[in-house]
Amino acid sequence: MEHYADLIDVARQTVSPRVFVDQDVYRAEQARIFTKCWLFVAHDTLIPNPRDFVSTFMGEEPVIVVRGEDGAIRVFINSCRHRGARVCRVDHGNNALFTCPYHGWNYDCKGKLRGVPQHDTAYHGELDKGLWGLIEVPRVESFRGLVFANFDAQAMPLSDYLGDFRWYLDLVLNRAKNGMTCLPGVHRWRLGGNWKLAAEQFLGDNYHTSTLHRSMLMIGLGPTDGDFRGNAPWEKDFEVKCANGHGWINFDIPAPPLPPEQEAFIARVREEAKTTLNPEQQKLLFHAQVGTVFPNFSILSFLGFTTIRVWQPVGTHQMHAWAYGLVEKDAPPVVTELIRKMQVLTFSPSGIYEQDDGVAWQSAVEAMDGVVRRHYPLNYQQGAGHGRTMANKPGLIHPPSTEIGVFGFYEFWREMMAKEAV
Ligand code: FES
Ligand SMILES: [Fe+2]
């Protein structure tokens, strides 16, 4: 049997290129990671009412995320029990029944098979509808509006899985007393590159910004001092390795002048945060913050603009980015509009940062795919052994630049890949 764990050398802090380009590894990941980890499926403000639903993916499995009449959110594999056709073919809506377009079987918001054309004649009334409901994902839990699902009925609770990382997520998601809401719609686009390259970059790759995004600095869209590492290492400018493969980057980016409405709103949220966050968290408010929840959910927030995204795996060499915009629930419309525009200009299909990253990820999988190159490992040694625990914040800390967080992602990947598939 293949020993996938051998692809990560924990002692040397290296990763085999096969982790990114090998088809067998990719298939094994689907079974060992995407069926056992908590996966983001929706923001609860996208489905506020009974019968509201969105379609998305858990790994390669298409799923429907629907709020029932009872208010509970359930997740089902979006595949008909008759011949497997995709039952729901739209992105979102409000529906009491999901009708399969192939032969017309239909299912309710609890996944129960309700209607079967020609039930009395073709099936002689003998089909037991109770046995042929949509396949339900057994676990659905949420944190601060983020809805996650898990195919593993035995998985640890989401709150344990997120663990200490919740402290960092709260810097964004719990800074305003009424929480966040999702802007309508999801930006989706196709990218070359393996999904893990995106997940690891958002988790803890501050290193690339001064090089890959140098053009941002040159046109004045980066930090005004031209440095993405900040001036307060350990305290305000740091990267974090958390348990279970999660990681975070925090840096105190010097802010350019903002429109007065946005300044006023940020000042208001700062006041609110005095009741929602502890004093150590308050010191980090509105810094530039980027993080990944293992395996493929990332969050980025700066200057009050927040995006969350999922790096959907679509083979070894391709991923789909699904990006959502978040804004504080009671933000004035003018601020919401500013934030929507910031998303479009920076981190979106046409976003200027996003374009740089996509080129790098595609070139990486193409260049390390050769039969020779595959045998030479990738170096993840930056900062190894130099991380510190600190009294005022959780996780293992190191100032930028470091790879302790991203290598933590692969340590957890290794742990999951060593377990038996579902
Ligand atoms: S595949 Fe859905 S009704 Fe036949
Ligand atoms: Fe980037």
**Pair of tokens at residue 288:** 């530039």
Q: Which residues contact 118 (CB under 8 A, 6 or more apart)?
A: none
| For ion ligand 2, residues whose CB falls within 5 Å | 357
* Mean pLDDT of the 293-315 span: 95
Q: Answer whether 104 contacts ligand 1 (Cβ < 6 A).
A: yes
SS3 386: coil
Q: Please work out whether the CB of residue 80 comes within 6 Å of at least one atom of ligand 1.
A: yes
Tokens of 259: 């429109």
Query: Does ligand 1 have an atom closer than 6 angstroms to the CB of 107?
Result: no
Contact assessment for residue 7 and residue 377, using Cβ atoms and an 8 Å cutoff = no
| 77, 78, 80, best to mutate for ligand 1 pocket (most atoms within 8 Å of CB) | 80
Lowest-confidence pick of 47-51, 102-106, 258-262: 258-262
**Interaxial angle between packed helices 195-204 and 404-417, expressed in degrees from 0 to 180 and rounded to the nearest 10:** 140
What's the confidence (pLDDT) of residue 219?
78
Q: What percentage of the chain exceeds 70 in pLDDT?
A: 97
d(CA 170, CA 172): 5
Comparing 380 with 219, which gets the higher pLDDT? 380
Q: Which of 64, 81, 83 to mutate to test the pocket of ligand 1 (most atoms within 8 A of CB)?
A: 83
- When mean pLDDT is compared across 121-125, 345-349, 373-377, the lowest value belongs to 345-349
Q: How far is CA 247 from the centre of its chain?
A: 12
The string of DSSP letters for 157-226 reads PHHHHHTTHHHHHHHHHTSSTT-EEEPSS-EEEEEES-HHHHHHHHHH--TTHHHHTHHHHHTT-S-TTS
- From the alpha carbon of 85, which atom of ligand 1 is closest? 1
Closest ligand to 357 CA? 2
Summarize the confidence of residues 261-268 as an average pLDDT: 94
Cβ of 177 less than 6 Å from ligand 1: no
CB atoms within 10 A of CB 329: 13
Tell me if 148 CB under 6 Å of ligand 1: no
DSSP state of 233: B
Ligand nearest to the CA of 113: 1
Whole-number Å distance, alpha carbon 61 to ligand 1 midpoint, is: 17
Please answer whether residues 134 and 111 qualify as being in contact, where contact means their C-beta atoms are separated by less than 8 angstroms. Answer: yes
Residue nearest to atom 1 of ligand 1 (CA): 83
**Least trusted range by pLDDT, from 34-48, 185-199, 329-343, 357-371:** 329-343
Q: Which of 46-50, 218-222, 387-391 shows the lowest mean pLDDT across its residues?
A: 218-222
| 232 Cα: distance to centroid of ligand 2 (angstroms) | 21
How much is the pLDDT for 1?
47
Strand partners, 152: none
The answer to which of 82-86, 216-220, 248-252, 392-396 has the lowest mean pLDDT is: 216-220
Ligand 1 contacts CB of residue 85 (under 6 A): yes
Per-residue model confidence (pLDDT) at position 229: 76
> What does the pLDDT average to over 302-315?
94
Distance 79 CA to ligand 1 centre (A): 9
User: How is domain 163-417 classified at the CATH fold level?
Assistant: Naphthalene 1,2-dioxygenase Alpha Subunit; Chain A, domain 1 (3.90.380)
Q: What is the mean pLDDT of residues 24-43?
A: 97
Q: Is 153 exposed, middle or buried (0-12, 13-18, 19+ CB in 10 A)?
A: exposed
Contacts of 286 (CB under 8 A, 6+ apart): 175, 266, 269, 270, 302, 303, 304
Tokens 């969350």 locate to 308
Both structure tokens of 323: 């990006």
Per the prediction, the chain carries an average pLDDT of 94
| Closest among 411, 364, 376, 403 to 9, alpha carbons compared | 411
Dihedral of the CA atoms 292, 349, 45, 73 (nearest 10)? -70
Higher pLDDT, 218 or 243: 243
Spatial distance between the Cα atoms of 67 and 48, rounded to a whole number of angstroms: 8
Phi, psi at 323, each rounded to 5°: -120, 135
CATH number of 39-141: 2.102.10.10
Could you give the residue range(s) of every CATH 3.90.380.10 domain in the chain?
A: 163-417
The residues of the chain that CATH labels 2.102.10.10 are: 39-141
Which residue matches tokens 């493929």?
Answer: 296
End-to-end CA distance of the chain: 16
